[in-house]
A and B are shown apart, each in its own frame.
Chain A
């Protein structure tokens, strides 16, 4: 099976027969199964469309991809290990670095796991602020994906339009988080800062503005005949395939299964908010594109309801844990819906200074694993479109 485990060979075997094969360990392994007359193309680690340092080994028959295999680990930063050598509080800023496009969801997954373990009560205003921040961040993440995806397809301009909106979201989120990229305003038992009057005013101005801009996106990109022909019918990923690889998020929803952690395992104040779960009518690249664009609208609706419902009160619990706080012994698991799928944190503590073991469930990792099967037999340009439609953030995949 292509998606199956790699048959590891002794790397030193290269030395035994020098000159016959060139390349590194992965390339050699990959090349062993290659048919004659095929070209092995190394897409990445430095390639314009792999967004960072993903490497995909492709076996090409002309321009058709016979088989493709992602090679990971070029951006592995030991985030899970770092969680075991820092106190829980000290680890929070790390979460923003795991997935820099949707840092608040990662914050929430970790903080939620610790709160469940320690049984901390979060004030309601803090829950609303978390929802607002997380949803605005999701919009920012989807906008950036939108621009980068169209850039993969050769349209350069949309990403800069997307950045205009993203900057506005950053201005808003900066008020409650203090930073613009690797945000970390979640604390055990609340959030670190409250939104002021300007925060809510900017959100109220932003919602109709973005709805107007989404219409422009529709005209510039979604309706564009070139884009539609590039995406329609390309890279179908059905529910069965998603379940086999554990893919979640917009990919699963585009396949037709309305699975959303916010609805299936309700957390925070999501049960009080009404929002539809967009599912795709088609499971190809264009379906995934549409689902993400609709999710922007869904998130806008959630933010709109949240700023109307938000109660007054404190934003952090009394006697909130400090930086040297120790987790009680035990085990907990907490999942939230990130922009790319289900983000989950498994926290195991023996009551010591640092958590005993920390497992980060990155949706991008599972989503990427189905690429090998989805890209089989497609054109090279289509394979890149499929890779783009998976919405990969390599730091998150490698962690």
Chain B
């Protein structure tokens, strides 16, 4: 009987402990990021694998490195890529249906010329399925034009996903490529940003 009473008093104390914990969090600042008003750091987004895009060309940024070899099309488990070969090697149309894409990276890793990479578009919103079918060649030209206007693009993450993507070629976490990823093991010389 006495033990039961003592147990209950201890139990009541445990309830007070719980209340003090939630009370402390009640007064502490919120942890969430309020999306339209705040956005997460670019540092976190830099490693996010968004929809794929064509890498900017080496000489002419608007010229794709793709040689229409169809390796990515064969590798894709979701059958979401369509590359139309032109008269020369370069493709004349590059369609990418993001609604079927599972972001596995098979296309990126199987590309022999490194013409594909992941973008970091987190804030991608559409209202219809048709808008999810991207024309990557047009996208490439747009990004090349953006980069030509501003050589060092620094846009806010909310609106400038394209500008982040444009600088992705030189960004630290390169798109995962088999065999070469070990190079990233060395600590980057830049000081870490909080």
Contacts of B31 in A (CB 8 A): 164
24 contacts between A and B (CB under 8 A): A86-B77, A125-B182, A174-B47, A175-B47, A175-B173, A178-B48, A178-B49, A193-B176, A193-B181, A194-B181, A196-B172, A197-B188, A219-B21, A220-B17, A220-B22, A224-B14, A313-B182, A314-B181, A315-B185, A320-B178, A320-B179, A323-B106, A324-B75, A324-B110
Contacts of A29 in B (CB 8 A): none
In this assembly, does A216 line the interface, its C-beta being within 8 Å of a C-beta of chain B? yes
User: In the complex, which of the residues A92, A179, A223, A323 contacts B49, with contact meaning CB atoms closer than 8 Å?
Assistant: A179
Interface flags, A186-201, vs B, CB<8A=1, else 0: 0100101111111001
Cβ of A99 to closest chain B Cβ, rounded Å: 16
In this assembly, does B60 line the interface, its C-beta being within 8 Å of a C-beta of chain A? no
In this assembly, does A91 line the interface, its C-beta being within 8 Å of a C-beta of chain B? yes
User: In the complex, which of the residues A91, A185, A194, A225 contacts B182, with contact meaning CB atoms closer than 8 Å?
Assistant: A194
Q: Are A93 and B104 in contact (CB under 8 A)?
A: yes
User: In the complex, which of the residues B10, B25, B102, B173 contacts A225, with contact meaning CB atoms closer than 8 Å?
Assistant: B10
In this assembly, does A12 line the interface, its C-beta being within 8 Å of a C-beta of chain B? no
In this assembly, does B11 line the interface, its C-beta being within 8 Å of a C-beta of chain A? yes
CA distance A87 to B17 in the complex (A): 55
CA distance A112 to B8 in the complex (A): 52
Q: Are A324 and B74 in contact (CB under 8 A)?
A: yes
User: In the complex, which of the residues A89, A190, A226 contacts B15, with contact meaning CB atoms closer than 8 Å?
Assistant: A226
Contacts of A198 in B (CB 8 A): 43, 192
CB-CB under 8 A for A323 and B74, given A226-B15, A313-B182: yes
Interface of B toward A, CB cutoff 8 Å: 8, 10-12, 14-15, 17-18, 21-22, 25, 31, 43-44, 47-49, 74-77, 102-106, 109-110, 118, 172-173, 176, 178-179, 181-182, 184-185, 187-188, 192
Known: A193-B173, A314-B179, A323-B110. 20 other contacts (CB 8 A): A86-B77, A87-B77, A89-B75, A93-B103, A93-B104, A161-B25, A175-B47, A178-B48, A184-B104, A190-B178, A192-B181, A193-B184, A196-B172, A197-B188, A197-B192, A225-B11, A312-B185, A314-B182, A323-B74, A324-B74
CA distance A266 to B187 in the complex (A): 31
Cβ of B105 to closest chain A Cβ, rounded Å: 6
Contacts of B103 in A (CB 8 A): 93, 178-179
Count residues on chain A whose CB falls below 8 Å from chain B CBs.
49
Cβ of B166 to closest chain A Cβ, rounded Å: 19
User: In the complex, which of the residues B21, B76, B178 contacts A187, with contact meaning CB atoms closer than 8 Å?
Assistant: B178
Q: Are B106 and A89 in contact (CB under 8 A)?
A: yes
Contacts of A316 in B (CB 8 A): 178-179, 181
Contacts of A201 in B (CB 8 A): 192
Contacts of A229 in B (CB 8 A): 11
CA distance A93 to B173 in the complex (A): 21
Contacts of A320 in B (CB 8 A): 178-179
CA distance A190 to B74 in the complex (A): 22
Contacts of A350 in B (CB 8 A): none
Q: Are A323 and B10 in contact (CB under 8 A)?
A: no
Q: Are B15 and A318 in contact (CB under 8 A)?
A: no
CA distance A314 to B182 in the complex (A): 5
Contacts of A225 in B (CB 8 A): 8, 10-12, 14-15
Contacts of A187 in B (CB 8 A): 109, 178
In this assembly, does A76 line the interface, its C-beta being within 8 Å of a C-beta of chain B? no
Q: Are A219 and B18 in contact (CB under 8 A)?
A: yes
Contacts of A305 in B (CB 8 A): none
CA distance A221 to B44 in the complex (A): 31
Cβ of A161 to closest chain B Cβ, rounded Å: 8
In this assembly, does A38 line the interface, its C-beta being within 8 Å of a C-beta of chain B? no
CA distance A93 to B100 in the complex (A): 13
Cβ of A201 to closest chain B Cβ, rounded Å: 6
CA distance A161 to B31 in the complex (A): 10
Contacts of A182 in B (CB 8 A): 102
CA distance A324 to B192 in the complex (A): 39
CA distance A151 to B177 in the complex (A): 42
Which residue among B10, B31, B179 has the maximum number of chain A CB atoms within 10 Å of its CB?
A: B179
Q: Are A323 and B44 in contact (CB under 8 A)?
A: no
Tell me which residues from 217 to 258 in chain A have a Cβ below 8 Å from any Cβ of chain B.
Answer: 219-221, 223-226, 229
